Structure formats: C-alpha cells, structure tokens
C-alpha cells in the first residue's frame, strides 16, 4: 500500500513539474488557464494524498519575537 502511495505522490509531483515547465512557454490564454487549473487540481490531490499517507505533521516551534521579553 505504501509503495502505491509513493508512486502516486511521484506521479502528482511529476505532473506539477511538467505543468510548471509548460507555463514557462508561449501559450494562448485558454491553454494557460487550462494548465493552471490542472496544476491546481494536481496540487490539491497531492496535498490530500500526503496528508492521508503521513497524517502527523511536524510544525517547527515559533521563534519568540525580538520585542517580547520572557
């Protein structure tokens, strides 16, 4: 199961990379909107899959502000 998830994650990342490369080329407005929409869909799918596969998120601790005394 985990191998399948990793393969799906790789596929989404590869698609996003391909769409970013395409956006650097000369495109019509219609093509650009289509690719931007597909990239947003791939990004959302990747985020959903990674949150399913890796449910624990590690958030780095906040640094204290310079003006706040401890």
* Domain-embedded: residue 35: yes
8-50 pLDDT per residue, tens: 999 999 999 999 999 999 999 999 999 999 999 999 999 999 9
For the CA atoms of 15, 17, 23, 24, what is the dihedral angle to 10 degrees?
Answer: -150
CA distance 35 to 56: 31
Geometric angle at alpha carbon 21, from 4 and 46, rounded to 5°: 30
Range of the domain at 42: 2-53
* Domain-embedded: residue 59: no
* Domain-embedded: residue 62: no
| Domain count within the chain | 1
Segment 38-65 shows an average pLDDT of 83
Instruction: Give this prediction's pTM.
Output: 0.73
CA distance 42 to 11: 9
Q: Phi first, then psi: what are they for 28, rounded to 5°?
A: -75, 165
């Amino acid at each position: 199961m985990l191998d399948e998830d990793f393969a799906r994650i790789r596929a989404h990342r590869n698609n996003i990379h391909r769409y970013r490369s395409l956006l650097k080329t000369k495109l019509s407005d219609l093509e650009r909107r289509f690719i931007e929409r597909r990239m947003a869909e791939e990004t959302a799918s990747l985020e959903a899959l990674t949150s399913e596969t890796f449910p624990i998120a590690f958030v780095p601790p906040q640094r204290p502000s310079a003006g706040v005394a401890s």
